[in-house]
Structure 1
């Protein structure tokens, strides 16, 4: 068995916990799949799986190896799919979910480009901050921020979403911007979450909202400063409309995770691959 196929077998077994299921997905016999894993273990000098009559589970070494290679194997599979399709127009229906603001600001422009290129593509996009049920809603995939809790699905981190503390230029017109937490304590805060944490820091919260775009508009209107995703505010900081405050302040960087079933339809995988590249580029933009 060639190395790439052996790695595909390994990832399929790791994902499904079953040699028979992995073999079916790869259109091979279970014995061939078992031999491929045995050859891989022999080549690596590692035991990758613990096998019992009831289950197959990764060993610690197997888990570490899986985390190193899974994204690379997935990328090679995607490349084969694109080559097999001749890089032609995408066609079919794809249903996806993404957080509201991120979906509108980062995802939708790329979806529009994809759909202009592929007239046969139909997209159902649920842009909401509410957690959707992937099975009940028949979603192909979902983007989530800071969530990794779907054991029956594949979850991959596309990147992180660093947060910046920002205020409007007008808020500090004619006076210096705060350069320390003690100076910041004199400034009102606009928040979309973590209010108690902010108050513990001695900050006074003037407005709370459950929507980060509303939060941003309040900050731009001079109501106060706020912690917002870098992807949402970096261009405004670059343009001078917002000021980044206390850049050395340690703020969370929650992961952006894509969640999808273990068997993802080809058209959905192709759309996801385009979206991933776009989002990874947007997440690294820092002005």
Structure 2
């Protein structure tokens, strides 16, 4: 029996809690997965899984093996990685998922800079605005704009995400500019529709110590923020948009920042990944590289991008 292969298959089933899903992740058939697990159980003389028609769960012995095997294979991976380090041979592909806007504005510059020192590392990027199942799609690292990912994911905040209310100069010349939050009800506004939920995202404003959440009537909604930026630049309406997508247009005078005293920085840009252990060397190196980078050049505001210490637990949100 190939012990290393059997343990890797066992770990895949243990994580997926499903033989069919483990087969997809390992690129083999479900019967082959079942045979490998059965051989491992016979070899150990232990039952590793409770199996029903609907569910697969670990036995107490399976839980113990899972804990030990994870650590053992991590040591094996580390030994292989250290050998590659000695030969200066970081190589292979890193699979990354991110929203389209982050892909073009953040990831491409980061990938280019990383490859200057590690030319044998490639990238396979999946750009979509829906929240991605990292395990199901075999993603190594994900990036997200908005609230911090929850669940079993490991996440790192990269920068605060400031939202600016703005409009084109042409729009302001034709319709005027609101002087208060309430006056937005009299204006033409755009909206962003969450790809996962299909709901239009409410706008946020910082008023004193509170963050106000307000549903603004939209004359056009979009599920792609870059397209919404284009609509606002064209004069379709007022939009509330991420700073990193509009700061350059505001500095050039094409867009005008409205209600600047009420901008919100409650959300952030996050990098996340499914686990800390057993990461390939190339993935760990890229994670550490991104974490060390100065993000102010990517997420700069119309003045200066606030430091990482601004990204805190959200203030109380009041819906109005």
Relative to the length of structure 2, the TM-score reads 0.57
Deviates more, 1:142-151 or 1:123-132: 142-151
2:153 paired with 1:149: no
* Cross-structure match for 2:285: 270
Over 3 Å counting, the alpha-carbon distance change for 1:19 and 1:132 in structure 2 is closer
Counterpart secondary structure, 1:131: coil
From 265, 269, 274, give the equivalent of 1:256. 269
Alpha-carbon distance between aligned partners in 2 of 1:87 and 1:105, rounded to the nearest angstrom: 33
For residues 84-103 of structure 1, the aligned pairs below 5 Å read 85=85, 90-103=90-103
Distance 1:169 1:90 in 2: 49
Task: Find the partner of 1:237 among 235, 250, 254.
Answer: 250
The offset of 1:233, in angstroms, is 1.0
User: Please, what is the CA RMSD of the aligned residues?
Assistant: 3.4
Checking the alignment, whether the CA contact within 8 Å between 2:232 and 2:239 is kept in structure 1 is: yes
Q: Separation in 2 of the partners of 1:203 and 1:248?
A: 18
Report what 2:166 is aligned to.
Answer: 166
> Does the Cα contact within 8 Å between 1:159 and 1:283 map onto a contact in 2?
no
What is the count of residue pairs matched by the alignment?
215
What runs of 5+ residues in structure 2 fail to find an aligned partner? Answer: 1-65, 76-80, 194-198, 204-212, 303-320
Which ranges in structure 1 are unaligned for 5 or more consecutive residues?
Answer: 1-17, 28-80
Superposed, 1:1-287 pairs within 5 Å as 85=85, 90-145=90-145, 146-151=147-152, 153-173=153-173, 177-193=177-193, 195=200, 197=202, 201=214, 203-251=216-264, 253-260=266-273, 261-262=275-276, 263-278=278-293, 280-282=295-297, 284-287=299-302
Cα distance in 1, alignment partners of residues 252 and 289 from structure 2: 28
- Give the aligned partner of residue 53 of structure 1: none
Partner-residue secondary structure (3-state), 2:262: coil
CA distance in 1, matches of 2:270, 2:221: 26
